[in-house]
Amino acid sequence: MAAKDNYCVIMGGGIGSRFWPFSRESHPKQFLDFFGTGRSLLQMTYDRFKRFVPEENILIVTNESYAAKVKEQLPEIGADQILCEPTRRNTAPCIAYASYHIFARNPKANIIVAPSDHLILREEEFVRAASEALEFVADHEQLVTLGIRPSRPETGYGYIQMAEEKVGNFIRVKTFTEKPNAEMAAVFLASGEFLWNSGMFVWNVGSILEAFRKYLPEVTSALESGMANYNTPQEQAFIEQAFPYCPSISIDFGVMEKADNVLVMPVDFGWADLGTWGSLYELADKDQDANATLKTRALFYEAERNIVTTDNPDKLVVVQGISDCIIAESENVLLICRSEEEQRIKHFLADAALKYDKEYN
């Protein structure tokens, strides 16, 4: 397998509303530097993949309103490496569009697909596993997903149940399961049969396009009608017209849960999906009372298990008598929310938009 046949698709078009008020519609979480490293989540993801994928083969799929931000953060990539969606249609149409674009460039391409907002702590192990998966799909018409060995009964992730059949380091998938409750998550962990669904996929371009034709014909009917336009100056005009006809559906629900050629590769490379304040709290350094601060200064009195952050590193936050809370200030919004209620942040954002138009989005 030649390295020139390896491609990467980074999905970077989401709003990240669960990280409000830091993540805004105008500047969502993939463009933020949560840890003060000087690199945003998108930049860290790009850095990770360029270690084993030719840089000219790394594509960013994003909403057209974020194209300038992508170019600003990744000035080294060409304009033809930024694929712009005219509207949000979830992950299946996003991946289908990128796959047709790549097929027009290289019909033998092997593709790894990943979100732009994941954290991976052991990058050497990630590079090894991802490279092995790319090599595997070059010779096997299988759809591969990377499954994370669970370390706790997590209720915030989807799960993958493994069957007994193995193909080398790859295992046949028995079922995909949505986010479980705490009791079921404990059962999954104890059984040893379940992995966390990382949302990262590896396949040959021909295999995934065949799966779209079989399981999501409404996507292929919209995007396949203009095959001659891909990788040409006419591509964007065609996508502007065709993409909105795609249904809004995830790749998991639309393809992976239906296909009979899905394998999972169990991996353990220090993965975290930075989807919620809770996931960020898990990763952050904490004091003796389990309080975490991110890029800010804080004093705590009779306070435990809080996460505190502001967008002003010189601001001092004093917390007294409050525990188990998210305290986040960014620009014109201060959020104080019980950690166990963080799923309501989307509702808070929606209510703010209703009452104050889009002033706080």
Q: Tens digit of pLDDT per residue, the chain (361 long)?
A: 568 999 999 999 888 888 899 888 888 999 998 877 899 999 999 999 999 999 999 999 999 999 999 999 999 999 999 999 999 999 999 999 999 999 999 999 999 999 998 989 899 999 999 999 999 999 999 999 999 999 888 888 899 999 999 998 999 999 999 888 889 999 999 999 999 999 999 999 999 999 999 999 999 999 999 999 999 999 999 999 999 999 999 999 999 999 999 999 999 998 888 878 888 898 889 999 999 999 899 999 999 999 999 988 899 999 999 999 999 999 999 999 999 898 899 999 999 999 998 889 8
Identify the bridge partners of residue 301 per DSSP, sorted by sequence position. Answer: 320
CA-CA-CA-CA torsion sign (227, 233, 238, 240) = positive
Cβ neighbours of residue 191 closer than 8 Å, sequence gap 6 or more: none
pLDDT computed for residue 2 by the predictor: 65
Q: Backbone phi, then psi, for 209, in 5-degree steps?
A: -65, -35
For residue 304, the 8-state DSSP code is -
For residue 225, the 8-state DSSP code is G
Half-sphere exposure of 213 (CA within 13 A, CB side): 10
For residue 27, the 8-state DSSP code is B
pLDDT computed for residue 16 by the predictor: 80
- Delineate the domains of the chain, giving CATH numbers in brackets: 3-272 (3.90.550.10), 277-356 (no CATH)
Q: In this structure, what token pair is assigned to residue 82?
A: 């930024």
Q: Is the pTM of this model over 0.95?
A: no
Cβ neighbours of residue 104 closer than 8 Å, sequence gap 6 or more: 227, 230, 231, 232
Report how far residue 28's alpha carbon sits from residue 5's, in angstroms, rounded to the nearest whole number.
31
| Cβ neighbours around 295 below 10 Å, total | 13
Residues 161, 173: contact at Cβ < 8 Å? yes
From the list 210, 201, 241, the residue with the least C-alpha distance to 91 is: 201
Cβ neighbours of residue 36 closer than 8 Å, sequence gap 6 or more: 294, 295, 313
Residues 50, 60: contact at Cβ < 8 Å? no
> Burial, 257: exposed, middle or buried (Cβ in 10 Å; 0-12, 13-18, 19+)?
middle
Q: In this structure, what token pair is assigned to residue 126?
A: 């990630």
Q: In this structure, what token pair is assigned to residue 30?
A: 């993939």
Q: In this structure, what token pair is assigned to residue 96?
A: 């289908």
Pseudo-torsion of CA 115, 120, 122, 124, nearest 10°?
30
